[in-house]
Structure 1
Amino acid sequence: MQIHFEKYQGTGNDFIMVDDRSLTFPQNDTSLIARLCDRRFGIGADGLILLQDDKISGLKMVYYNSDGNTSSMCGNGGRCFAAFAKKLGLVSDSIAFDAADGPHSATIASDGTVSLGMADVSRIDIFPDHTFLDTGSPHHIEMSDNLMKIDIRKQGAEIRYGELYGTAGSNVNFVHPETDGTFSIRTYERGVEDETLSCGTGATAAAIAMHVLGKTSRNRIGINVMGGKLEVDFTAKAGKYTDVLLIGPAEFVFKGEITC
């Protein structure tokens, strides 16, 4: 079997993109998906995304983590999905599609910047040492004064598999405020089971957490990820965050075919 694919990345969060409108991709083959995402024996990626038709939205994004399992919403993946659909000629400068957490829309600027509409957030759990919220995927947010010295893989895994989150686990984010009003973040992603250079739902969660904690009064917040810069824009009213946008680049890397 030959699989035609394109590779995309959004601030270093990279994805294998497959046009599966024909529904021929073996989407229940977990081991195959994991092998394609393997950086030594496959194409290499943080995840794999199928583009399929959808009767209601028109298009559907099916997302798999690099371990081969389907997952919850991926923000950077959604932005790359929009760019991929445009490159295929399926949309122009705007798109509507369905994903694991429901319907999404996005706009694609001439410079390649994609602004992706994210789910509303109304429940934010605040604890003495961390904050938890779901932005399409669950996120643990923790402040850090020594962001670059953290062993993300070790500390992230301890929290992800710890008693706080049970068998489902959570993504884990460490956040540091910068003097220019932006925030730097490092993320351990479940399903990848390691640090990624960027996590879109994590950046969204961090921005909202910093606002609700009073670390910033801005409603457009710059988030510095290891692979670049993202922005999160939202409307905050009565403890609810609506009109949430995840904004940043989504770039084509290469295309090819692989025999499986």
Structure 2
Amino acid sequence: MDIFTRSVPFYKMQGCGNDFVVIDNRELGVPQSAMADWAKAVCARAFGVCADGLFFLENSDDPALAYRWHFYNSDGSRAEMCGNASRCAGKLAHAIGLAPAEHVFGTDAGPIKAKVLLDGPDQGRVKVQLTPPKGTETGIVLDVDGTPLTVHFADTGVPHAVVFVDDVAAVDIMDLGPKIRYHAHFAPAGTNVNFAQVVDDATMLLRTYERGVEAETYACGTGASATQLLANQLGLTGSRADLTTTGNEVLTVFLEDGNVFLQGAAELTFRGELYLAPMGLSL
């Protein structure tokens, strides 16, 4: 019996502990109609590779874009954007010759500018310019189990609610996170939920409950960006802040002339072959 059935090469990457499977789809040609099922199967723990999300890299018909991606959360839901994954995409695209170190690629949220830093103290890190934030709102008072809770909101490619707390470590994120994520105020799409502790005007601690993963993740780039954007609007931080995530990694968010820039690590951890039949997949 031959167990080495049809296989597909993949890359495993992580951005500050937020981990992703990446598939170069330029020649493979996985149809978009099948991508959600691939994400659910490949990202599954024990039966797949195990990851927070999966994205496919493809050529773009738009000459202004080096390539485009299709991004899916581990539950198969398609996401407009993911900050940590965007840094991974930029670094891998440069490494495999798909794009130069500085380039623009396409997402459902719009074009993303990426720059792989090739020298200096931040060598190896990646800086991305996110799409313009929208829907920003501060001072939203929600009824959560009969108790008023003040949250703030910004869409930095995907929707994010932000709650500022005195002690982020004390938050019961698996209890409070879903209550905000599914709150009627954010229906029908729901929202990601961030809990932030301001240490000083340039430093915060951050924990994120991610929509689509439905759990706390080690980091969330768009969440860090939304948190810094809102903290700055509330007068809590300056134009640049370092946010330490659950994975004890640091994401740096810059606010420049109305634009949001996210900088942090993006690492290739391994690559391998996906055997399709055991995961119920085919081409």
Normalised by the size of structure 2, how large is the TM-score?
0.86
Is 1:246 equivalent to 2:262 in the alignment?
yes
Aligned: 1:48 with 2:51: no
1:74-153 equivalent positions in 2, closer than 5 A = 74-110=82-118, 111-121=123-133, 123-127=135-139, 129-153=150-174
Equivalent runs, 1:10-25 vs 2, <5 Å? 10-22=15-27, 24-25=29-30
In the TM superposition, what is the alpha-carbon distance from 1:79 to its structure 2 partner?
Answer: 0.5
Identity of aligned residues (%): 37
Matched, 1:225 2:245: yes
Native 8 Å contact 2:67 2:98 kept in 1: no
Cα distance, 1:221–1:169 mapped onto 2, change above 3 Å: same
Are 1:23 and 1:52, in contact at CA under 8 Å, matched by a contact in 2? no
RMSD of the TM alignment (CA)? 1.5
- Conserved? CA contact 2:16–2:266, under 8 Å: yes
1:166: Cα distance to partner? 1.4
Give the Å deviation of 1:146.
2.4
Aligned equivalents of 2:180 and 2:89: distance in 1?
30
1:39 is the counterpart of 2:48:
no
- The alpha carbon displacement at 1:26 in A equals 4.3
Where does structure 1 lack aligned partners over 5 or more consecutive residues?
Answer: none
Call closer, same or farther: CA 1:245–1:181 in 2, change over 3 Å: closer
Alignment gaps of 5+ in structure 2: 1-5, 142-149, 277-283
**Residues of 2 paired with 1:184 and 1:208: CA distance?**
14
Q: Give yes or no for the alignment of 1:28 onto 2:33.
A: yes
Counterpart for residue 163 of structure 1: 184
Which structure has the larger Rg over C-alpha atoms? 2
Q: Hey, what's the Cα distance between the residues in 2 that align with 1:41 and 1:105?
A: 35
Distance 2:187 2:99 in 1: 40
Name the TM-score, length of structure 1 as normaliser.
0.93
Residue-by-residue CA offset, 1:10-58 (whole Å, 9 max, x unaligned) = 0000000100012522443333321210122110110001000101113
